[in-house]
């Protein structure tokens, strides 16, 4: 079960602290960060919170993917956005930054103590402007998406029977070449949809990036994680 943003802290119970291995606080706090725009925005936010991870930016440019930041006793892992929850759930990272789209798609056993309000976009259903879908028609509908689980839930809630085709990118071309009738994809500026003459049908999810924390780390490293989350909360707009 996932605990949603803002509704929990990650305080450890006294009991859990007693059970923590004595070495648990000797390793740097490990943060899994997704490469790309979220990373850029997250680094700005961390800096405002007094944690300068600028070395992560420099090392990333040099293709380094494990970046020690000894001055803050932190280690940053640069991973694919969809891989952040796995690193965190299995304890390879103490916490991570991941989009709500990825977190809800995977629905892993993680705490989500803070929404950072960065990496904002929307998950939408879209279709060709000149070929609108009749949801009630008894035809075999196909939806192409990177988010099969969120799409499945959406279709179920709407009572639409359709085949879901899982893709890994360039989703917008699927309806243009006969692979699908509709897409479920992320929209930021809307430019990609416009360029491919697709129109939005509806929004499924408002997306922004969140801090996610694994259960073990929440118990064993609660002081460090609570301090970091409090610092970030203080600089998250609105
Ligand atoms: C994302 C998303 C859209 C595009 C939306 O793709 O899947 O294709 O960005 O942005 P826009 O509304 O500002 O045009 P991404 O760049 O991650 O590449 P991908 O298609 O390979 O997933």
For residue 53, the model assigns a pLDDT of 86
CA of 46 to the centre of ligand 1 (A): 25
Element holding 61 (H helix, E strand): helix 54-61
Q: How does 54-91 read in b/e, with b if 16+ C-beta sit within 10 Å?
A: ebbeebbeeeeeebebeebebbbbbbebbbbbbbbbee
How sure is the predictor about 16, in pLDDT bands with cuts at 50, 70 and 90? Answer: very low
With cut-offs at 50, 70 and 90, classify the pLDDT of residue 10: low
- Whether the full predicted model's pTM is greater than 0.75, yes or no, is yes
Q: Is the CB of 190 under 6 A from ligand 1?
A: yes
Q: Is the CB of 13 under 6 A from ligand 1?
A: no
The structure tokens 């909360």 sit at 233
Q: Is 192 in the pocket of ligand 1 (CB under 6 A)?
A: yes
- pLDDT of 12 over the 70 cut: no
Q: What is the four-CA torsion angle of 100, 52, 28, 103, rounded to 10 degrees?
A: 0
Q: Is the pLDDT of residue 107 over 90?
A: yes
| Residue 185 near residue 164 (C-beta atoms within 8 A) | no
**169 CB within 6 A, ligand 1:** yes
Distance 193 CA to ligand 1 centre (A): 9
Calculate how far, in angstroms, residue 121's C-alpha sits from the geometric centre of ligand 1: 10
Cα separation, 51 vs 44, whole angstroms: 9
Which of 19-28, 137-146, 152-161 has the least mean pLDDT? 19-28
- For residue 189, the ligand 1 atom closest to its alpha carbon is 13
196 CA from centroid of ligand 1 (Å): 12
């Amino acid at each position: 079960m996932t605990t949603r943003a803002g509704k929990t802290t990650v305080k450890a119970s006294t009991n859990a602290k007693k059970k923590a291995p004595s070495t648990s606080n000797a390793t740097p706090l490990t943060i899994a960060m997704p490469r790309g725009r979220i990373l850029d925005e997250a680094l700005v936010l961390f800096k405002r919170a007094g944690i300068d991870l600028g070395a992560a930016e420099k090392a990333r440019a040099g293709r380094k993917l494990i970046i020690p930041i000894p001055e803050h006793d932190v280690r940053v892992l640069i991973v694919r956005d969809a891989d952040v929850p796995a690193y965190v759930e299995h304890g390879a990272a103490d916490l991570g930054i991941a989009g709500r789209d990825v977190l809800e798609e995977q629905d892993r056993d993680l705490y989500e103590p803070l929404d950072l309000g960065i990496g904002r976009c929307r998950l939408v259903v879209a279709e060709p402007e000149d070929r609108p879908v009749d949801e009630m028609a008894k035809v075999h509908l196909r939806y192409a998406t990177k988010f099969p689980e969120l799409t499945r839930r959406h279709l179920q809630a709407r009572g639409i029977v359709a085949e879901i085709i899982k893709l890994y990118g360039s989703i917008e071309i699927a309806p243009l070449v006969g692979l699908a009738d509709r897409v479920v994809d992320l929209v930021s500026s809307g430019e990609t949809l416009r360029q491919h003459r697709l129109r939005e049908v509806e929004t499924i999810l408002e997306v922004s990036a969140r801090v996610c924390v694994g259960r073990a780390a929440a118990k064993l490293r609660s002081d460090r994680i609570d301090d970091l989350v409090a610092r970030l909360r203080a600089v998250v707009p609105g």
